[in-house]
Amino acid sequence: MPFIEENKSLKNYNTFGLDVNADYFTSIHSIDELISVLKDDHFSDTSKMFLGGGSNVLLTKDFHGLIIHNCLKGIEVVSRDADFVMVKAASGEGWHDFVLYCIENGFGGVENMSLIPGSVGAGPMQNIGAYGVEMKDVFYELEALNLETLQLEKFNNADCKFGYRESVFKNEKKNKYFIASVTFRLNLNATVNTTYGAIQQQLQTMNVEHPTIKNVSDAVIAIRSSKLPNPAVLGNSGSFFKNPEITSIQYERLKNDFPNVVAYPTNNGYKLAAGWLIEQCGWKGKVVGNCGSHKDQALVLVNYGNASGDEIYQLALAIQQSVLDKFQVTIIPEVNIV
Ligand code: EPU
């Protein structure tokens, strides 16, 4: 049974840097440790919350329960053939550390997702993605502990029901599983994906004509570092809202009223750039009390040091309302609000 701390500050465990307390806190290093915590009678009626990198959560108040901090580590090659390698990573590994491991070993597929904060286990949870690649493109399977039966179960790509920042673990299986490990199918003869305009521009700036996975990773790191604040310096959790998806009819109406609207066609209609909508409402770079919308990326809300989670939440609600008033479009948080 791992050590349980009482009345623990979570300031160092969430990338917004919010100083809320948890009644109880423990770190798990194996599935057996997790099972022993879950079986402990002392905590059987206590609400529990898992924390990985804490990069996708807005803690608005003290947590009257037990925080289980995921410290499961380990990366191993499970199998390989001439073209592909299967790599299994424990869910508590840092996502970017895993990307760097893949690049060092010449395993292609995750380089466009360099520098995304958070842990490996959070990846499938919300089907993380960036610069034209999503988790679902490299995902093979995961193992998750069923929190009721305490048995490990496997989920393949289809089982996870991946969508845009969505999976079964955010919907019908919410709070029912703990993701223990993720196995990726990576490319040994990688062809890089540079379809995203910003990557092409960055590679040109870097004078790279025939990019390797390392070059693409470096380009993504340069782009992200230039416009996304580093959570270690300025508290944030990346994009606060999802880019809203609308029908073609809604899009035509919007385009008529706002000819410069930034949108991308999808299978069912259009996806709007939420950052553009928020900027048009005058929020970009605006400071409200101890928080605000970032000066280089309006979609990122930041904590200037002493904000409370509730203050950031109120800002998010005000932004959401003004986008609704101006564009009749609802933007929905990507971040979990607790
Ligand atoms: N834009 C503005 N003003 C802003 C920000 C953006 O006008 O303040 C417009 C620009 O036209 C820009 C476009 O929006 O070209 C798209 O912006 P960006 O390339 O920064 O991407 P995004 O749609 O805002 C998404 C993901 C990011 C991911 C990038 C790159 C979501 C919610 N966010 O952001 O993911 O890194 O694409 O692929 O889908 C995250 O999920 O936390 C995240 C950072």
DSSP 250-300: HHHHHHHH-TT--EEE-SSSEEE-HHHHHHHTT-BT-EETTEEE-SS-TTE
The last residue of a domain, from among 37, 70, 103? 70
C-alpha distances out from residue 145 to 57, 136, 139, 158, 173, Å: 21, 20, 18, 18, 12
Per DSSP, the three-state class of 168 is: helix
Model confidence at 263, in pLDDT bands (50, 70, 90)?
very high
Is there a single domain that holds both residue 41 and residue 86?
Answer: no
**To which H or E segment does residue 139 belong?**
strand 139-146
Provide φ and ψ at 116, rounded to 5°: -70, 125
Residue to probe by mutation, ligand 1, list 126, 276, 283, 320, most atoms within 8 Å of CB: 276
Is there a single domain that holds both residue 303 and residue 191?
Answer: no
Is there a single domain that holds both residue 9 and residue 37?
Answer: yes
Q: How far apart are CA 78 and CA 72, in angstroms?
A: 17
Report which ligand 1 atom has the smallest distance to the Cα of 196.
38
What is the set of active-site residues? 165, 239, 334
What is the per-residue pLDDT across 15-48, written as a single tens digit (0 to 9) for each? 999 999 999 999 999 999 999 999 999 999 999 9
Is there a single domain that holds both residue 93 and residue 55?
Answer: no
Per DSSP, the three-state class of 312 is: helix
Is-above-0.85 flag for pTM?
A: yes
Q: How far apart are CA 187 and CA 308, in angstroms?
A: 43
Q: How far apart are CA 338 and CA 63, in angstroms?
A: 8
Number of domains the chain contains: 3
CATH of the domain at 293: 3.90.78.10
The last residue of a domain, from among 227, 256, 286? 227
What is the per-residue pLDDT across 298-319, written as a single tens digit (0 to 9) for each? 999 999 999 999 999 999 999 9
CATH of the domain at 49: 3.30.43.10
Q: How far apart are CA 45 and CA 25, in angstroms?
A: 15
The last residue of a domain, from among 70, 85, 108? 70
What is the per-residue pLDDT across 271-289, written as a single tens digit (0 to 9) for each? 999 999 999 999 999 999 9
Is there a single domain that holds both residue 118 and residue 193?
Answer: yes
- Which residues form the domain of 41? 5-70
- Ligand 1 mean position to 239 CA, how many Å? 7
Report which ligand 1 atom has the smallest distance to the Cα of 293.
8
Neighbours of 109 (CB within 10 A): 23
